Structure 1
Amino acid sequence: MKKWIPLLIFTILIYSCKARKVASQQDQNTDSLSVANTDIKDPDKKDKNISDRLDFYQKIYIHPQFDYLKINSKITADNIKVSPLDAIIYIETDKKIWSRIDFLFFNAARALITPDGIKAMDKYNKNYIDSDFDYLNNLLNVNFIDYKNLEKLLEGRTFFTLSDTNAKIIKNNDGYLVESLSNIKVSTENIEREYKIMMQYSEDFNLTNVNLRDAKSNDSMEIVYSDWELQSNNVKLPKNVKIIIKGSKNSQILIENTKFDFSRMDTPYSVPSSYKKIEIQ
């Protein structure tokens, strides 16, 4: 029970900023999507026409929009003994992600994430952080997490847009596998890393698995989405999410989303003056 803040931040990562510069034109804006040269392979057909390719990309990148999303969840993590934990995660699209974690009816932690950075407080140990996204990237041993990627991870949306010349799409028994043909460079102010990326989609175009491997180390991140559920407003969301971190850091966390709500809610966040700030190294 001494690591509430990392757990809270790690939990928020699963669901869902000032955009970082991402090499290889990984622009999340679907308006700039180009698929003219993407290779789609099918066991029964060597090539598909352009309308089929465009239809595939529209289905994995373009989704019904909403302004607010509240998720009630239960969390199980391998680095804490007290689990499952109850959590509420609330998103105002493009504006903020707010969350709280409760243990035995006690509000143990709370966080507020905006495009400007991350604020989180640990009520059990009476401390808090106020940081940019480097904290979260260091925690997860990656460098591609920003605010918008956080939202997309929350919603089970595709958060890497591969260039039209650096992706292949293979039709397999599980649906569609999207794979980077060469390593994807992600550059930030302090570091550049290269990733090999694979993304599996179901037959009805739900994202089911994301696998990112660092090209120069044994570090990897895998995200597994399952039990997708269609909501009354035609939005589809995953009920179960698993994140697995391997390499120089190892973690695993399971999320069971028990309820989705699309109404607005209050998001109080204030740090008592007696709390100690944790300085991020």
Structure 2
Amino acid sequence: MKLQHLLFIIPFVLISCGGTKSITNRADIRKESSKKVLKKHSNSKFNQNTLSANLKVNLKVSGKSQGMNVKLRLEKDKTIWLSGSVFGFSIAKAIITPDRVSYYVKINKTYFDGDFSVINRLLGVELDFNMLQNLLLGDALFEMKAKNYDSKIDQQAHLLTPIQGNELADLLFWIHPINYKIEKQEIRAFEKHRFLSVEYKNYSEIEETFIPGTVEIVAKDSKNNAVIQLDYKAVKLNENLSFPYKIPSGYKRIKK
């Protein structure tokens, strides 16, 4: 896949959300069992019907930078819709459902319409819709069982690490000690020299739901290094949303 495609695609598959009322008091953190931490995290998961936000996206891939504004609309468990613009001009749209990933880029008149393989290649991780949605909303990418994880305090957060090490990959989760949302999650695939880190900053409470304000994503492999910073404004929950999407005629399809 060409670098110019990466510059437009990556912001469309790595989005989270944010708001106001920054939470900073962490002085009272105490060590808790993995069972207790995971139960509280489960209770904190995103449970609203819809979310919309205006995002400022800054992307750097292999030394080349790209900035854009992105409108995000999400209907839980059903649809993720994105529309990107630069200087007020629409440049791309994308729609993701449990069985479909589709996007088109106006600048080079190309489109993709297929499965999650395009996202999996970008991130170096096998994802489905629910896992991607969790990543976007500050929830654990993978389902975790308490018996498989140790819990300790690290960087003023609850750090969960696998009890039995895996020589192919490590899954590390830092969980916020106040709202019990994910603060950072890392996937390290040693055999393929791949690394994915998603860090959530400045959590805020909107309609009794905790949402991160800034997200920083780092994706590395033996050839590429991508860093994406997302800043969110105008977050709204539980509104009636539409998801207009139609691939323009005359666009060239991008193969897998």
Q: Shorter chain as normaliser: what TM range?
A: 0.7 to 0.9
**Closer, same or farther in 2 for the Cα pair 1:173/1:251, shift >3 Å?**
closer
Counterpart position of 2:181: 206
3-state SS in 1 of match to 2:38: helix
Structure 1, unmatched stretches of 5+, are 17-42, 186-193
Amino acid at match of 2:108: N
The SS at the match of 1:165 is helix
Please name the residue that 2:251 is paired with. Answer: 275
Query: Is the 8 Å Cα contact of residues 12 and 150 (structure 1) preserved in structure 2?
Result: no
Query: In structure 1, how many angstroms separate the alpha carbons of the residues matched to 2:240 and 2:200?
Result: 25
Query: What does the per-residue CA deviation read over 1:134-176, in whole Å, with 9 as the maximum and x for residues that have no partner?
Result: 1110122222x11011111111111212333321111345121
Q: Is residue 245–residue 251 contact of structure 1 (8 Å, CA) maintained in 2?
A: yes
Alpha-carbon distance, 1:224 to partner: 0.8
Residues 210-249 of structure 1 aligned to structure 2 (within 5 Å): 210-231=185-206, 233-248=207-222, 249=224
Deviation for aligned residue 1:195: 2.0
**Partner residue of 1:60 out of 25, 37, 41:** 41
Query: 2:150 aligns to what SS in structure 1?
Result: strand
Match for residue 113 of structure 2?
Answer: 130
Q: Residue 55 of structure 2 corresponds to which residue in structure 1?
A: 73
Query: Unaligned 5+ residue runs, structure 2?
Result: 17-28
1:153 pairs, out of 124, 129, 135, with 135
SS at match of 1:58: helix
Does the CA contact (< 8 Å) of 2:11 and 2:59 recur in 1?
no
Residues in 2 aligned to 1:227 and 1:235: alpha-carbon distance in whole angstroms: 13
Secondary structure, in 3 states, of the residue corresponding to 1:84?
strand
One-letter code aligned to 1:274: G
In the TM superposition, 1:84-95 aligns within 5 A as: 84-95=67-78
Given that 1:162 and 1:180 are in contact with CA atoms closer than 8 Å, whether structure 2 keeps it comes out as: no
Larger radius of gyration: 1
Q: Which structure would you say has the larger RCO, counting Cα contacts within 8 Å and 6 or more residues apart?
A: 2
Contact 1:61-1:158 at 8 Å conserved across structures: no
Identity among equivalent positions (%) equals: 24
| TM-score of the aligned structures, taking structure 2 as reference length | 0.84
Contact 1:4 1:122 in 2 (8 A): no
The answer to whether residue 227 in structure 2 is matched with residue 252 in structure 1 is yes
Aligned counterparts of 1:170 and 1:276: Cα–Cα separation in 2 = 51
Conservation of the 8 A alpha-carbon contact between 1:8 and 1:110: no
| Alpha-carbon separation, structure 1, partners of 2:30 and 2:41 | 22
Shift of 1:13: 3.2
2:124 pairs with one of 137, 141, 144 = 141
Once the two structures are superposed, residues 18-51 of structure 1 have per-residue CA deviations (whole angstroms, 9 ceiling, x without a partner) of: xxxxxxxxxxxxxxxxxxxxxxxxx988xx6xxx
Amino acid of the residue matched to residue 234 of structure 1?
Answer: E
2:150 corresponds in structure 1 to 168
Match of 1:15 in 2: 15
Give the TM-score of the pair, scaled to structure 1.
0.77
Letter in structure 2 aligned against 1:275? Y
Amino acid corresponding to residue 190 of structure 2 in structure 1: A
Q: What is aligned with 1:118?
A: 101
Name the SS of the counterpart of 1:148 in structure 2.
Answer: helix
Partner Cα distance (1:54, 1:180) in 2: 13
Contact 2:54 2:72 in 1 (8 A): yes
CA deviation vs aligned residue, 1:201-251 (integer Å, no higher than 9, x gap): 2221232111110032321111111010100x2011101001111232311
Task: State the distance in 1 between where 2:8 and 2:234 align.
Answer: 19
Pair 164,58 (structure 1): closer, same or farther in 2 beyond 3 Å: closer
